Amino acid sequence: MMETEDVQEEYDFTRGVQGPVVPGPTGKTRITIRIDDDILEWFRQRVEQQGGGNYQTMMNIALRDYIDQHALEDMLRRVVREEMRKSA
C-alpha cells in the first residue's frame, strides 16, 4: 500500500506566475481567432493531400504570400506613377 502525503488545507500562490509552463517559440504569438468552417476545412484538406503537416503553418504561409504580393503590387504602382509623371 502506498503512503499518502499530508495534503495542505491551504496553499500560498502569492508568488505564482500565470502563463504556459513551456514558453512558445520566439517570433510567434498565440491568439484566438474565428475562421469560417469552410476555410479551415480547405486548409486541413490541403495538408492531408500533401501527406501531412500543419494547417496553421500553411495558413501562415498563405497570409505571408498575400502580404508579399500586395507589397509588390504597391511598389509597382508607385514606380509606374513616378515614371508616368517623368514622361508627362
Kindly give the confidence (pLDDT) of every residue in the chain, 88 residues in length, as a single tens digit, with 9 standing for 90 and above: 455 567 778 888 888 888 777 878 889 888 899 999 999 999 999 999 999 999 999 999 999 999 999 998 999 999 999 988 988 7
Domain contains 42: yes
pTM confidence score: 0.61
Domain contains 73: yes
Domain contains 27: no
Number of separate domains in the chain:
1
Domain contains 24: no
List C-alpha distances in Å: 12 to 18, 20, 36, 54. 14, 19, 43, 40
Domain contains 31: no
